[in-house]
Structure 1
Amino acid sequence: MSEIQIHQQQQYGEKAVAVKDTYRDDGGENAAQSGLVTRARQSMSDLFTIFAAGFALISDGYQNNLMTMANVLLKKEYPEQYNSTVSTRVSNALLVGEVIGMLVIGLTCDYLGRKWAIVITTVLIVVGGILATASNGYTINGMFWMMTVARGTIGFGTGGEYPASSVSASEAANERTLKRRGPLFILVTNLPLSLGGPFAVIVFLIVFSACNQAHYSTVWRVCFGIGCIWPLSVFYFRIRMLNSSLYRRGAIKKRVPYWLVIKYYWKSLIGTCGAWFLYDFVTFPNGVFSGKILDSIVKNGSIKRTAEWQLLLGVLSIPGVLIGAWLCDRIGRKQTMMIGFGGYLVFGLIIGCAYDQITKIVPLFVVFYGFMQSSGNLGPGDMLGLLSSESYATAVRGTCYGISAAFGKAGGAIGTQAFTPIEDNLGKRWTFIIAAICGVVGVVVTFLFVPNTSGSDLKESDEKFRAYLVANGWDGEMGEDDLKTIADEGIPPAVVDDVAGFKAQ
């Protein structure tokens, strides 16, 4: 036993040494027999987790943006049957499924582990994609109902990807590159999600051109079918991945003290839930209906021409992701998010107040529209996932992340449902003016409630959370397999002192 371990044993007890001695480095027979995970195996699993999270989230971005051009195409193919009610229902099916998936899979990835939650989401996306591709019915309306159910199934899977993949990527990045965790997390989560928009349009243009700009049914079915390829491409890596060492050390699988969790994290939850609601209320309907908006201002334009403008709009939103990743460690997560919400105010007012004039110059409108979307990516788009993965302890990270993201998608569903009535009753300019108002409210919510995480080791917040639970009478078990421990074993005295005054009242 090393001198450090002897000191730990004297200070915390023998079981604390077992907790601190996370890995076996020999990687041989002794490690296998003891049930411990070798450092090399865990390190390789963390790398695969980061890679698989990034690649799979491209499929989520693809699915989120697939209906942008599909809505235009289906309206051309079924001008009477595919009315605004049906269009909104099909588009909202994904959002409703995502809300349910975020809540259910958020809990699942805390109870069952990150690995099996991710496997479940992959299967659901593939099954839903197959059903959407095969959408049919005795009537055209029946076909649209099947499409609605299929898109809802996909939404359950893609919604579950948010907490499952994102918290896994955050924990893996914490182990592999702590000092660059923030930028790395953004590059494997929000960047792939944002790339999914232009990627979906590129696939659409290729398929549409291959079908000689006709055979609309073939086009949207092939585009739906292609969405099954991306999650399948990383399925093997997901089957082989391990739960993070943070999870195996900090999971609570029985007697989760949710009331104490709420008392400890109520302010952070208001911040992440409220900001995410406002962000998706603006960004999701503006993504889903951007093809419709462009189609209305491109005079005598073809479907292909509209898609090309849509592609430019999607590309213009990407720089914001990269700028946000660069800023988050330099000026702070909270400040970066307020700057992004401020962009909604600036560009939303410019477009809204000058709508009649700016829409006469399509390139200028697309540029300002793209800047508004890009500012959203720079701020809340980048920071909400990062803050939601850093603000909560490992034991409840998936649950709190899922709740926050679910509030966001609820905002997206409400925004999508309200988008057409706002256009019809107030005028198209008001969709942008309301975006500006949401930007102001977003700045206020962020300033008052969102924690300004510093990028410190997630293990530190886990220890503080554990000490808080113990200080308030919780005596359950934390961890699994080789890292299981009783609640109050091995907590350093300094951490106990740090939370001594923070007892639930």
Structure 2
Amino acid sequence: MAANESDEVKNGAIQAMEPQDPEAPSAEVSGKRQSLSDIFTIFASGAALVSDGYFNNLMTMVNVILSEEYPKQYTASVKTRVSNALLVGEIFGQVVVGLTCDYLGRKFAIILTTLMIVLGGILATASSGKTIEGMFWMMTVARGIIGFGAGGEYPASSTSASEAANQHTLKSRGPIFILVTNLPLSFGTPLAVSIFLIVFSACHQSHYSTVWRVCFGLGCLLPLSVFYFRVRMLNSVLYRRGAIKRNVPYKLVLRYYWKNLIGTCGAWFLYDFVTFPNGVFSGTIIASVIPSTTKDVITKTGEWNLLLGALALPGVFLGAYLCDRLGRKNTMMLGFSGYLVFGLIIGLSYDKITKIVPLFVVFYGLMQSSGNLGPGDMLGLISSETYATSVRGTCYGLSAAIGKTGAAIGTQAFTPIQLHLGKRWTFIVAAIVGVVGVLVTYFFVENLNGEDLAERDKKFRTYLVENGWDGEMGEDDLQALADDGQVPAEGIVVPNKVLAEKK
């Protein structure tokens, strides 16, 4: 009786794995729908990821005008609190949404993050209170909500983009992933500064409250612009095949991926420790080196910040070009080395180089560009390729959350470093972090070759089965979806007990 049941299960699995008739109407329609969904998922991922870059870097200029508008109330501690609120929200968002997108699906997580960014943006625009201090607390909470949504975009959008690119165009998956993830994030810097300068000019370089409220409000349009496509998207075929929705073997996950987690978490911590405070406080840094005799310091600061943001963009494209040629690991070490070179150049010659503002901004931009070339481009790509589909969102979210913890600590430590050690030391510390980043990458980051993500799923699944895991992988209604032609039947995973019997 048991043998008959085993034969039936095997036969059912074999039948499920047989290719469907390509002429079948349902398969043709669903195939087109899945292909369109993959394309829209790839490009729509960046529209909300740009929100993270926009809202983070918007504070670069908002900090300047809030200090002018409220010189007594907007103290250093309040400035740090408002700036850090988004980072703290991102940490929670990355962990929570990372788990959510593995358990409930990529689509659900992406819709949730979009709504949170829009809600937070509306509340930030409407920030008010009985006192100025109360207004800043409302702004802090609103930026925390934005951060939760923007942080959730990392695991939700990035895993979706990686899986869709893997399904649609495997050979160019790495460059495509970078161009729809880190490019929008980096583009958020010049976009935020450009919008600020336009609004500031439209308000005749006054009406500061109107300026920052309009800038916050415009940030809501970014995720809303692709909300329709996100509602219409499908979960990736990789997710449908590889999801583990109950009894996730986290001990086995840690045992299998512990070294990779040290690499992605550690490198992301170091990268964000440098890049975020240097981004958030770049307006303050540049304003401090502009001659006191300059008229309209705010506009000049914005213009130099725009140049700084533009100089950081070439690194994104160079990293996308090198990721397949040098490899992910070598490209990341090259980028961390740029922190060492440019950090030391600026730090050791700070007193002289800051007297020539254009030269200072160029070297500052080259340091930021090297960060984009290496860890900025590679960390998301490596985190999306290293981990199996069933835990990709969780491990990606955890790595990004540790990174944002580094950003929060770096932002908190930035001002004390300047006050107690001197402004040059913020760049010398960046150089030191670059050395540590190279070492962490060399010893703990896997040298990936861009293989099919489905192959990594199979290796992980085999490891789980060999270590006694007997859970289910794939969505509950996967066979029904295959019967309806909504997923390719040849990709259905055979149940664990069948694999064990075949062995």
TM-score for the superposition, normalised by structure 1: 0.92
> How many Å separate the matches in 1 of 2:329 and 2:469?
32
> How many Å separate the matches in 2 of 1:437 and 1:25?
57
**1:171 correspondence with 2:190:** no
1:284 to 276, 287, 300: 276
Query: Could you say if the C-alpha distance between residues 96 and 20 of structure 1 is closer, same or farther in structure 2, counting changes exceeding 3 Å?
Result: farther
Between the aligned residues of both structures, percent identity stands at 70
Match of 2:216 in 1: 224
Query: Could you say if the C-alpha distance between residues 207 and 27 of structure 1 is closer, same or farther in structure 2, counting changes exceeding 3 Å?
Result: farther
Contiguous gaps of at least 5 residues in structure 2: 1-6, 480-491
Match of 2:82 in 1: 90
Match of 1:18 in 2: 16
1:311 to 300, 306, 319: 306
- Once the 2 structures are TM-superposed, how far is the Cα of residue 16 of structure 1 from its aligned partner? 4.4
- Once the 2 structures are TM-superposed, how far is the Cα of residue 41 of structure 1 from its aligned partner? 1.1
- Once the 2 structures are TM-superposed, how far is the Cα of residue 14 of structure 1 from its aligned partner? 2.9
- Once the 2 structures are TM-superposed, how far is the Cα of residue 307 of structure 1 from its aligned partner? 0.1
Q: How many residues align?
A: 481
2:496 to 485, 488, 493: 488
Deviation track 1:48-81 (CA, whole Å, cap 9, x = no partner) reads 1011102222222111211010001100111111
**1:136 correspondence with 2:134:** no
2:351 to 353, 356, 366: 356
1:331 to 326, 334, 340: 326
Match of 1:458 in 2: 453
> How many Å separate the matches in 2 of 1:78 and 1:26?
69
**1:445 correspondence with 2:453:** no
- Once the 2 structures are TM-superposed, how far is the Cα of residue 493 of structure 1 from its aligned partner? 11
Deviation track 1:209-234 (CA, whole Å, cap 9, x = no partner) reads 00000000000000000000010110
**1:249 correspondence with 2:241:** yes
Match of 2:101 in 1: 109
AA aligned to 1:123 is L
User: CA contact under 8 A between 1:467 and 1:491: conserved in structure 2?
Assistant: no
> How many Å separate the matches in 1 of 2:206 and 2:332?
43
Query: Could you say if the C-alpha distance between residues 253 and 359 of structure 1 is closer, same or farther in structure 2, counting changes exceeding 3 Å?
Result: same
Further displaced range: 270-279 or 50-59: 50-59
**1:53 correspondence with 2:38:** no
- Once the 2 structures are TM-superposed, how far is the Cα of residue 458 of structure 1 from its aligned partner? 0.2
Deviation track 1:424-447 (CA, whole Å, cap 9, x = no partner) reads 000000000000000000000000
Secondary structure in 2 aligned to 1:64?
A: helix
2:363 to 348, 368, 371: 368
> How many Å separate the matches in 2 of 1:306 and 1:176?
43
User: CA contact under 8 A between 1:463 and 1:491: conserved in structure 2?
Assistant: no
Query: Could you say if the C-alpha distance between residues 446 and 11 of structure 1 is closer, same or farther in structure 2, counting changes exceeding 3 Å?
Result: farther
2:469 to 474, 481, 485: 474
Match of 2:416 in 1: 421
User: CA contact under 8 A between 2:470 and 2:497: conserved in structure 1?
Assistant: no
> How many Å separate the matches in 2 of 1:336 and 1:479?
34
AA aligned to 1:427 is G
Match of 1:503 in 2: none
Compute the RMSD of aligned alpha carbons. Answer: 2.0
**1:262 correspondence with 2:257:** no
- Once the 2 structures are TM-superposed, how far is the Cα of residue 19 of structure 1 from its aligned partner? 4.8
TM-score for the superposition, normalised by structure 2: 0.93
Deviation track 1:366-421 (CA, whole Å, cap 9, x = no partner) reads 00000000000000000000000000000000000000000000000000000000
> How many Å separate the matches in 2 of 1:280 and 1:332?
22
**1:100 correspondence with 2:100:** no
AA aligned to 2:93 is G
> How many Å separate the matches in 1 of 2:52 and 2:318?
22
AA aligned to 1:460 is E
Match of 1:158 in 2: 150
User: CA contact under 8 A between 1:317 and 1:370: conserved in structure 2?
Assistant: yes
